[in-house]
Amino acid sequence: MRKNMTIPGLRKPLTRTHQKYGVAGVAALGAAALALSLAPNDSGAETEDVSAAPVAVTSATGERQIKDVHAGITDQLAQADQRAKDAEAKLKAEQAAKAKKAAAAKAKADAEAKAEAKKKAEAKAKADREAKPAANRSVARKPVYANNLDGWIREALAVMKEKGIPGSYEGIHRNIIRESAGDPQAINNWDINAINGVPSKGLLQVIPPTFQTYHVEGTSWDIYDPVANITAACNYAADRYGSMDNVNSAY
Considering the domain architecture, whether residues 197 and 242 belong to the same structural domain is answered as yes
φ, ψ at 187 (rounded to 5°): -145, 140
Indicate whether 8 belongs to any domain: no
Indicate whether 251 belongs to any domain: no
Structure confidence at residue 218 (pLDDT): 94
Considering the domain architecture, whether residues 153 and 135 belong to the same structural domain is answered as no
Rounded CA-CA distance 172/174 in Å is 6
Indicate whether 114 belongs to any domain: yes
Structure confidence at residue 239 (pLDDT): 96
Domain end call among 90, 115, 142: 142
- How many whole angstroms from its chain centre is CA 145? 52
Domain end call among 116, 142, 168: 142
Indicate whether 30 belongs to any domain: yes
Indicate whether 65 belongs to any domain: no
Structure confidence at residue 164 (pLDDT): 96
> Domain range spanning residue 91?
77-142
Indicate whether 7 belongs to any domain: no
- How many whole angstroms from its chain centre is CA 30? 82
DSSP bridge pairs for 125: none
Structure confidence at residue 130 (pLDDT): 84
Contact present, 219 and 194 (Cβ < 8 Å): no
Rounded CA-CA distance 14/20 in Å is 10
How many residues would you count in the chain?
251
Structure confidence at residue 139 (pLDDT): 60
Task: State the total domains in the chain.
Answer: 3
Considering the domain architecture, whether residues 138 and 192 belong to the same structural domain is answered as no
Considering the domain architecture, whether residues 111 and 39 belong to the same structural domain is answered as no
Low-confidence ranges of the chain (pLDDT < 70): 1-59, 134-140
Structure confidence at residue 136 (pLDDT): 62
Considering the domain architecture, whether residues 204 and 223 belong to the same structural domain is answered as yes
Considering the domain architecture, whether residues 34 and 81 belong to the same structural domain is answered as no
Rounded CA-CA distance 137/170 in Å is 31
Q: How far apart are the first and last CA of the chain?
A: 159
Phi-psi region of 140 (alpha: psi -120 to 50; beta: other; left: phi over 0): alpha
